[in-house]
Amino acid sequence: MSKDTKNPWGKPGNDDRHYGPRGGQGGGGNRQEPPDLDEMLRRAQENFREVMPGNLGGGAAIGLFLLAVVALWLASGFYIVNPGEHAVVQRFGAWSRTQTTEGLGYRLPTPIEKISKVDVNAIRRMNIGFIEHASRGGASQKQEIPEESLMLTSDRNIVDLYLVIQWNIKSAEDYLFEIEDQENTVKKVAESAIREVAGQTDMFPIITKGRETVADKTKAIIQQNLDEYHSGVNITQVLIEKAEVHPEVQGAFQDVQSAKQDAEDTQNRANQHRNDILPKARGLAIQTVQEAEAYKEAQVAKSRGDADRFNAVYEAYLNGKDVTKERIFIETMEKVLGNAQKIIVDSENAQGVVPYLPLDQLKPAAGNNQSAGTVTGQQQGVRP
């Protein structure tokens, strides 16, 4: 770096003409040049001669003159601090103290001490990516600065950003003595911060619902860097006024958004179909399980009933085998012959008669599955 080159980040270069009272370069526009002492004394002497009576001795006149000059010189040390201001006092060029309360203050007269007043409550505004021009109608017009507004995102897209930085001063002595060209320093730090955040973020969140998050991250990085420089600057707010896709990638961006919308619609329809089918499937599964449980219980109950009935018959058989056999035979025949067509032959009244059964006529009509049965006694006659 050459001798005449100034560091834009606020660190002093090698130019000895601009070193501040803390070893860094002085900053700000609140510098007070010491008055010409010889000129002040000459004017005071002329004024004193005009008002002094002519019969006063030369020695006494000079003494009174010097006394008046000293009094005026001491009185010049009074100053007033207005609301919202801090007064920084320098003694022989070095920082001495800072008065943060408003009202009357005193410092040793020039050239021993001098003061610099800084408005610490004023909110300063800085634009990044654009400049504003006042129009006749009162509304401002924005002119883009491409080298500031164009940002590269993490997904390698280009966005156009307008950033507004609002800040005030939290330490008057740091603001005056630690950095040079304070506004330019704040702007460079802000540009670096927003490019860092944009480079770590995809394009879509920046231009949609993620603006506030991007602004908050940018504010935190700006404040951290400025604190490291002891700049005395406090960032109050970071606003993203504009975040748009660069025209060169607008077409591709629209295609991507259309594809995302189609995918979202398809997913919504699939979810709707799933929500419609799943309850029905769950209900059918529950119904099937319940029917199976009911069938199981019915079969178990039936099997237990059959087993109990068999055990009861078996016990009865053991107690009376002949009776039980007869009863079982009768019950079985009752089941067999209950629905059959029967012919009853009385063996007592049919002695000497050969039984004749017209089987062809006794057959049931076609399609009737009932069987014909006969009960015969002894081989004697047929009841007419």
Q: Minimum mean pLDDT among 19-28, 152-161, 178-187, 338-347: which range?
A: 19-28
pLDDT at residue 28 tops 60:
no
So what's the pLDDT on residue 199?
Answer: 92
What is the distance between the alpha carbons of residues 348 and 355, in angstroms, rounded to a whole number? 13
**How much of the chain, in percent, has pLDDT values that exceed 90?**
23
pLDDT in tens, 7-16: 444 444 444 4
Does the global pTM surpass 0.85?
no
Nearest CA to 202 out of 130, 250, 151 is that of 151
- Residue 1's pLDDT band (cuts 50, 70, 90): very low
Q: Alpha carbon of 207 to those of 203, 212, 242: distances in Å? A: 7, 10, 8
Treating both helix axes as pointing N-terminal to C-terminal, what angle do 58-75 and 37-51 enclose, rounded to 10 degrees?
Answer: 130
For 165-213, what is each residue's pLDDT tens digit?
A: 999 999 888 888 888 888 999 999 999 999 999 999 988 889 888 899 9
Residue 83 pLDDT exceeds 80: yes
Residue written as token pair 């109050």? 236
The arithmetic mean of pLDDT across residues 294-310, rounded, is 90
- Whether the pLDDT of residue 325 is over 90: the answer is no
The closest alpha carbon to 194, from 126, 120, 122, belongs to 126
Do 159 and 253 touch, CB atoms closer than 8 A?
no
**Stretch 265-286: mean pLDDT, rounded?**
90
Among the listed ranges 149-153, 233-237, 245-249, 328-332, which one has the minimum average pLDDT value? 245-249
> What is the CB neighbour count within 10 angstroms for residue 201?
19
111: cis peptide before it, omega within 30°? yes
- Report the percent of the chain where pLDDT is more than 70: 73
Task: Evaluate whether 375 touches 345 at the Cβ level (below 8 Å).
Answer: yes
Write down the pLDDT at residue 380: 38
Which pLDDT score, from 0 to 100, does residue 168 have? 93
- For residue 217, what pLDDT is reported? 94
DSSP string for 288-357: HHHHHHHHHHHHHHHHHHHHHHHHHHHHHHHH-HHHHHHHHHHHHHHHHHTTSEEEE--SSS-TT-----
pLDDT for res 4: 41
What one-character DSSP code corresponds to residue 123?
P
Q: Is the pLDDT of residue 215 over 90?
A: yes
CA distance 120 to 127: 20
| 89 pLDDT above the threshold of 80 | yes
Lowest mean pLDDT among 164-178, 192-206, 287-301, 364-378: 364-378
Q: Any idea which of 36-45, 161-170, 213-222 has the lowest mean pLDDT?
A: 36-45
- pLDDT tier for residue 296 given thresholds of 50, 70 and 90: very high
Asked whether 359 and 328 are in contact (CB, 8 A), the reply is no
Fold that domain 124-245 belongs to in CATH: Tetrahydropterin Synthase; Chain A (3.30.479)
Instruction: Read off the pLDDT of each residue in 240-253 and give the average, rounded to a whole number.
Output: 81
Confidence of residue 293 (pLDDT cuts 50, 70, 90): very high
Average pLDDT over residues 99-105: 82
* Per-residue pLDDT reduced to its tens digit, 60-76: 777 787 888 888 888 88
149 pLDDT higher than 80:
yes
